Every structure is written in structure tokens, then in C-alpha cells.
Structure 1
Amino acid sequence: MTHDDPVDPLMPELACYGLAGHSASPADLVVEAARAEELGLGSILLSERFALKDAAVMAGAAVAATSRIGVGTAATNHNTRHPLVTATMATTLHRMSGGRYAFGLGRGIPLLFDIMGLPHVTSAQLEDAVGIYRTLWHGGSVVGHDGPAGSYPYLVQDSSFDEDIPVLLMAMGDNSLRLAGRIADGVVLHTFMSDTAVARSVRLVRDAAERAGRDPAQVRIWSVMATIEDSLDETARLRKLVGRLATYLTGYGDVLVRVNGWDPAGLERFRADERLSAHSGALDATDDLDLLRHARDVLPDEWLACAAVGSAEHCADRIEGQLALGADSVVLHGATPDELAPVLAAWRSRRDPRRFDHLPPNPGRLHLRKDPQS
């Protein structure tokens, strides 16, 4: 695309993930971010994995490769970096992007933290850490701090700072959802959540915001929907569907089953399956079609139905369905921008841009809704 080519307006209600899943080629993000912007996605979100997906490096690359699209870390963890280092990451990205960046935190995986020798993340730690960041971003200093996020004699960035950096929280369980409603600018739900779970999560966030004296409509809620369009080959479709769900169930299956109200017997059957338990590595990275087909047969259809699978028009229908559940925006998860292109075209052909005027590209922000009578 040249500078003279027409530019499609952004669709701020939609986002994708950069380097979705596993990647051995982090440089691909530069192309993906530019392509996401070209196709009109409103935001690109970035998950962190401790191999080739460092949150700060990826966010810097995505910001540099784009000029309009929002960029968000979704997510990093507060306990893997010193708070001054994390705050500096966010202020750097905020200024570098011209305000397009949103800083996202999550709880992470307890088993991984056990292996790393780090404490498990708690709500109290998250709330304390966010308070530290916001103090630093607004030019304050943290003196003699001794709280859930740690003990710090003196932290300061720059007394002239007054950086309005939105905070995203990744949330799945009730405590995380309520915390997001109390303190976050935006919340990103989890992939493979049923419609009932999404609607309930939206209510929990907004109720918690209201009880905290906040405007519940000003917390931006993202649903996250695995999106697998028909033009992909069978191996890719199954890797993004059953492989991804199996990977989540391996990491924190009990939580996902509880949130969705699924029958725990399905998780027990998955864990007891000899072929799946013998597989080393994440199932969403395998090219073993026979194993993926086997996983599809083991996993309940109801669980797999949480994803958008099928034609571009059907996937566009599912986007509308997520918005109808109360989400402000939808992350089309597990696919590259090019893989999402047919879905984006189908959605653009039916959307009313005025419906989303209150959504800026920054994934952690909301404009005040305009009074339709004014």
C-alpha cells in the first residue's frame, strides 16, 4: 500500500492478537501490525510468553509499525519486573505511540510462577501495583512503600509527568472481574467463554464499578472469541480450535470449567486420555492432524461451540452476538490479520460506523457516549 492509496477507516470495536499462539519469528509482528491497521482492525493486543514474546519489545515494534491502530499488552505480569521498570515501559510506549497504548496486567499461571520461584499473583498485589504505576505516571513519588506488591524505599520517574495511561486487566474469575470493575479502565475476558459466562462477566464488572462509585459504562469490556474461518486448512482450523482449548485446559482447566459452569467430567476425561497426556508440548503448536482430530473427539461439543467457526458471514454473526451480550468490543482471537480478512470484510459490510463513535482506537479508553437527542 502506498501513501496515495485509500485507507479503510478503523473498526475500533474489533481487535486481534499479534503473534497469536506460539511463534519462532517475532519479526512477523511488524508485518502483522501493519496489516491489521491496513485491514481496519481497531487494536492489536500482545500476550507475553517467556521465550520469544517479550511484552515491551513487541509493543514497541507494533507502535513503530503503525500510526493509527491501538496497541495493548494483554497481558504482562506485575511480579516479573520491578515496578519502576514496568512504569517506564508504559510511559515510553505511551509517548512513543502518541497515546495509542494501553497497559495490561494479568494473574498469569500459578504453576509457571512456582517453577520461576515467584509468588502467586493476588488481587491485593494487582491493586497495589496499579496504584504505584499511576502515582509514577502522574509525576508523584512512592516513598517508604510497604504493601502487597512489595517494599520500595523510593520510586520516582519525573515530577513533570502527567501521563494518562489506561490500564487493562485480564479477567476470568469473579475476584478478577470485580477488581477490574473497581480499578481498571478496561477488561479483557478470556477465550472459550460461553455466552452465559460473558453476559455474567459483564454484569460483575459493571456492578463492581458502580459499587466503587464509578460510571459502569466507562469501563471498556472486551470479549475474546476464537475465530476460525472456513478458508483455513483442516490442520490450522483444529490447531486454533481444539489445540488452543486443550492448551488452556492443561494450564488452568479447573478455572475455565468453573467459570463456564461446564461438567467437570469433561475435564476429567480430557486429563485421563492417554494419547493427549502423552503429548509433550502445547497442542496448539502441533501439526499432528490425527492427534488434533482425536482431541476434537475427546472435548465436548458444547465447549468448542464457544468459538466462531465457519463462514465469514457466520463469524460476523458471532461478533454481533458478543456485542449483544453487553461487551463493548470483541477480540478476534487466534488468527492473523490476513486469516481474519474475510471476516473483517463481512463485518464491515453490515456495521453502522455511528454505533461505535464512542470507541477510540486505544483499547483501554472510551469516549463519553453522545446523547442521541442532542
Structure 2
Amino acid sequence: MSRPGGPAPEPDCPELGFYGLAGHTDDPHDLLDEIADAERTGLGAVFLSERFDTKDAVALAGAAAAASHRLGIGTAATNPHTRHPLVTATAATTLHRLSRGRYALGLGRGFDALSDLIGLPRVTSARLEDTVALLRTLWRGEAVADHHGAAGDFPYLRRTATGEDRIPVLMVALGERTLELAGRIADGVVLHTFFTDDTLARAVRTVRHAAERAGRDPGSVRIWAVLATVEESVPEELRLRKITGRLATYLQGYGDVLVRVNGWDPGVLKRFRDDPLVRDHPGPLDAAPAATLERIGSLLPDEWLAACATGSAGHCASRIADQFGAGADSVILHGATPAELAPVVAAWRSRRDPQRFSSLPANPGWRTP
């Protein structure tokens, strides 16, 4: 039952995705307009991150499945320990069948500090691997009995849904160990925003080599680059929020890892974090006033802010091509709405090679139909 009810129609540009409700939102209903715009524009997939506010990934994925006909849908990501594995398996089964096979479950480690704060254990590689194994067993229609592993102790687990469901697992990965884990066990990988082109190429090699060492076909793992993309028609204040604010927020939360993988200067990160404007700011910096973001931008090197796509639609399309040149299979255009991305997608259409992407189905977790 990999595609119940027959296959879904394919999108125009299955190699391009976007994040639904990127950043902060108080109105999840906006996702429905984004879905309609995305299908008109020709984007291939919507990715749904999760926050403990108005962005429950399962609820949003259900809305996306109901409101779309061609878009692939991926959670990118939820954490493996915020739901019981039987609940997660059930949610993914429901979304898989509801979307006619367009859904991929994305898992990630999350933030250690947040796990500590809300009283959950930190997510380890062992927990991710054990959770994926449990989910795949349940999706095959099999029972799990007397399980004792990193995901927990479960006397008996079994879905009541009949049949087998082939649901891909996406892994959201930043550091090398998670990239290697993704190569071993995941069907697709979502990388991180603000990777330099060299870092992207290294990440792709890490995933492919790990897959090969695990006895898998390295080309079967679909790798998504994530490119912050803000075309020149977007107002300056929004551009600041989507580029400067977004990077600054990442540096607040897990800047050490991002700086390390990019080979950036950790001294710059320390000066950034020690600046009173950053140190004393309550909450994520991408929600800060424009004047604050302008000042914060002066703390960040041009090299760091250049790991994105800005300027004309043609230049943004060139930056998309750079991601494919570095080895990515697909690219998430992060930070902008589908309406804002329309000029970029149009510019990309004028230069894309349809044959290159003919092996990409709508489902963002699969590499070949």
C-alpha cells in the first residue's frame, strides 16, 4: 500500500521545496494560501517544522494533504521522543494514506537545552536509530513485542491498520555524526540553512559514504540542501528578518555546531554572543525589531551572510544551481513564501534541465519512483 488510491500527480519542479509558515506565525491558516500559491508556482514540496505554539507538524501536514493535489509533504522535523512511537506511526500512516503517498516523516535531534527545560531526555543517535526501526516494523504491519531499547521499553506495539505502508523517513542533519547516521538509515536527508557550498559538498559526501559503508546504494538517499532565499522585491525589513534574523537565531541556539561545520571563526561567534544587544535580547532574534536586526547584522561577517540567495531572481536561480553543483538532489528555498518565491522559480524554470530531475517523485523522501 505504498500509494493507496493510485499515484498522486507530479509537481512541475519536484526538485524545489519551501518551508510552510517559515519562522514565527500566529495564524496557521496562512498555510492554506501558501499551499495554493506553491502549486500554482510549480514548487515540488512543502516542509513543516515544529514549534510548541501554533505549528504542530502533524496537524499542519494533515492540512497540507487536504489542501494540495501535487505537493510532496515532509515534516522537517519533529523529535522522536515528544510522541509515543505508536502515536507517531499512526500519524504517519494516516498522512501517507490521506496524501496518496506524498508524505515523508522527518525526525531530528532538537535542542538539548529545550529537552532539559521541559523534562525530556536528550535525543541520541541510538534513540533515533531505534525509533526508526520501531516505526518501520509497525508500518510493515508487524508487531513489536518485549522491546527494550534506546527508544524505550514497550511490552507490545501493533498498529490496528491493515496492510503494509511504505513511508520514507527523512533525517534532519547538521553535525557529522548525524549526517553519518542519516546515510546509514534514512531515505532522505534535510541539511541545514547557511551551509557554505564547500560545507554542502562535504555533507553530501559524508551521507553517501555512510550509506555505502552500510551496504546501501548511496544514490538512493535523497539529499535536500536548504538555501535561505530572499529575492530583491521583498521589502528590506523582511529581508533583514529572513536572512540576518534567521542566521542570528541559529547562532543563538546552536552556533557552535554551525560555525564548526562551516569552518568559521569561533572568536566571531563569541563576540556576537557577548554583545549586550544579543546577550540581553529576550527570545529569538528573528523576532527582533528592524533597528535591532540592523545592528546585529554589523556583528556578522559578510562571508557568513553570503551563504544564502539574495538579489535578482536570476542570481537566486544561479545560487540554486550552485547547490546542485555541490551534489544536492533537491533544494528547499527557505524563509520566503511561495508568492515571494514566484520570480525565483520562474527564473529557475528557464535554466533547469528536466531530464536531470525526472527521477524525483513528489514524495520528498524518495529518490526514485
Normalized against structure 2, the TM-score is what? 0.96
Structure 1 portions without partners, runs of 5+: 1-6, 369-374
Tell me the alpha carbon deviations over residues 12-71 of structure 1, each in whole angstroms, 9 at most, x when there is no partner: 000000000000000111111121111100000000000110011000001100011100
Contact 1:126 1:149 in 2 (8 A): yes
Residue 306 of structure 1 is matched in structure 2 by: 307
Secondary structure of 2:298 counterpart: helix
Deviating 4+ runs (over 6 angstroms): none
Post-superposition CA distance 1:290-345 (Å, at most 9, x none):
21111111011111110111110000000000000000000000110011111011
- Separation in 1, partners of 2:348, 2:145: 50
Counterpart check, 1:227 vs 2:224: no
Is the 2:232–2:310 Cα contact (8 Å) retained in structure 1? yes
Paired with 1:159 and 1:94, the residues of 2 have a C-alpha distance of: 12
Match of 1:103 in 2: 105
Question: 1:236: which partner in 2?
Answer: 238
* Structure 1 position 9, deviation (Å): 5.1
2:208 to 206, 209, 224: 206
Rounded to whole Å, the distance in 1 between the matches of 2:155 and 2:17 is 39
CA apart distance, 1:8: 10
Q: What is residue 170 of structure 2 aligned with on the other side?
A: 168
Q: Contact 1:17–1:46 at 8 Å: present in 2 too?
A: yes
Residue 250 of structure 2: which of 248, 251, 274 is its match?
Answer: 248
Q: Is the 8 A contact 1:106 1:170 kept in 2?
A: yes
1:138 aligns with 2:140: yes
- Which of 280, 283, 290 in structure 1 is aligned with 2:282? 280
State the identity %: 62
Q: How many residues align?
A: 361
1: CA distance between counterparts of 2:226 and 2:330? 9
Tell me: CA distance 1:8–1:208, structure 2 relative to 1, closer, same or farther (3 Å): closer
Preserved contact between residue 10 and residue 69 of structure 1 (Cα < 8 Å) = no
Q: 1:216 aligns with which of 190, 212, 218?
A: 218
One-letter amino acid of the structure 2 residue matched with residue 330 of structure 1: V
Q: How far has the Cα of 1:227 moved from its partner? A: 0.3
Superposition deviation, residue 276 in structure 1? 2.1
1:322 and 2:323 are equivalent in the alignment? yes
2:266 matched to 1:267? no
CA distance, structure 2, for counterparts of residue 129 and residue 8 of structure 1: 30
Q: How does 1:285-364 map to 2 (within 5 A)?
A: 285-286=287-288, 288-364=289-365
Q: What secondary structure sits across from 1:355 in the alignment? A: helix
Aligned equivalents of 1:233, 1:175: Cα separation in 2: 38
Decide whether the 8 Å contact of 1:18 with 1:32 is kept in 2: yes
The aligned residue for residue 257 of structure 1 is 259
2:10–2:362 CA contact under 8 A, matched in 1: no
Distance 1:296 1:74 in 2: 27
Q: Residue 10 of structure 2 contacts residue 70 of structure 2 at CA under 8 Å; is this kept in 1?
A: no
Taking the aligned partners of 1:204 and 1:294, their CA distance within structure 2 comes to 36
Q: Report the residue type matching 2:313 in the other structure.
A: A
User: What does residue range 20-169 of structure 1 map to in structure 2 within 5 Å?
Assistant: 20-158=22-160, 160-169=162-171
CA deviation map 1:204-259 (0-9, x unaligned): 00000000000000000000010011001111001111100010011111111111
Aligned to 1:372: none
Structure 1 position 158, deviation (Å): 3.3
Tell me, yes or no, if the aligned pair for 1:8 and 1:38 is still in contact at 8 Å. no
Residues 99-140 of structure 1 show CA distances to partners (whole Å, capped at 9, x for unaligned) of 000000000001110111001101100000000000000000
Q: What's the secondary structure of 2:342's corresponding residue?
A: helix
Whole-Å Cα distance in 1 between the matches of residues 228 and 75 of structure 2?
18
CA 57–112 in structure 1, closer or farther in 2 if over 3 Å, else same: same
Structure 2 Cα separation of the partners of residues 39 and 147 of structure 1: 45
Where 1:168 maps in the other structure, the secondary structure is strand
Q: TM-score normalized by structure 1? A: 0.95
Where 1:172 maps in the other structure, the secondary structure is: coil
Aligned to 1:11: 13
Q: Check 1:132–1:8 CA distance in 2 against 1; reply closer, same or farther (3 A cut).
A: closer
* C-alpha RMSD over aligned residues: 1.2
SS in 2 for 1:84: helix
Deviation at 1:351, TM superposition (A): 1.2
Provide the C-alpha distance between the structure 1 equivalents of 2:53 and 2:315, rounded to a whole number of angstroms.
35
Matched to 2:250, the amino acid is: Y
Partner of 1:185: 187
Aligned residue type for 1:117:
G
User: 1:281: how far off?
Assistant: 1.9
User: 1:68-95, CA deviations, whole angstroms, 9 ceiling, x for partnerless residues?
Assistant: 1100000000110000000000000000
